[in-house]
Amino acid sequence: MVEKNLHLLKFIAWLTGVIVSLAVGFSMAEGSLTIGFLDSLGLSLVTIVAGWIVVITTVLSIALVLFKK
């Protein structure tokens, strides 16, 4: 019983991390979430690229988890 609850808790923590990662990644990629000092230097492209990297790596981690089972 305890191990089943622990498994559920780990899944909820992982799912929360995925949702937050996708929210942050898409926000950075769309430009609504910026990195202040990079934006002031005119390097907003770095933030957009970083956002897409977060989105892609999150999707890859989801795929790895699904194909592992």
Domain residue spans in the chain? 37-69
Q: What is the pLDDT of residue 34?
A: 84
Residues of the chain with pLDDT under 50: none
Q: What is the pLDDT of residue 69?
A: 65
**Residue 29: CB atoms within 10 Å:** 19
User: For residues 51 and 33, what is the distance between their CA atoms, to the nearest angstrom?
Assistant: 9
pLDDT in tens, 36-49: 887 778 888 889 99
* Angle subtended at Cα 12 by Cα 63 and Cα 14, rounded to the nearest 5 degrees: 40
pTM assigned to the model: 0.82
